[in-house]
Amino acid sequence: MLNYLSVTERLPTVFMPISTAPYLNGDPEEYLSWVIESKSPSFKPGTVADWLEGRLPRPVDDLSQWVSAYDV
């Protein structure tokens, strides 16, 4: 969603998974985290939060609000 909303609406952000080294926490898949990095100093964390709140389903944890590729 953050990396490629659409061809015409690109954000100056990168949304990527990170994991710690296996020797620190075991299985990296069990300790996967996500990082949002901005490539533009004017695109602040609050702007990202506002942007996401305006586009994500509500409530976010209600799976019935989400549309999957199979629903389209």
pTM for the complete prediction? 0.53
d(CA 2, CA 16): 10
Cross-strand bridge partners of residue 35:
16
Indicate the domain borders of the chain: 1-45
- pLDDT at res. 22: 67
Confidence class for position 32, pLDDT limits 50, 70, 90 = confident
Q: pLDDT by residue (tens digit) across 39-61?
A: 888 888 888 888 888 878 888 88
- More confident position, 53 or 26: 53
**Distant-in-sequence, close-in-space partners of 14: CB < 8 Å, separation ≥ 6:** 2, 3, 36, 37, 39
The three-class DSSP label of residue 51 is: helix
d(CA 52, CA 46): 10
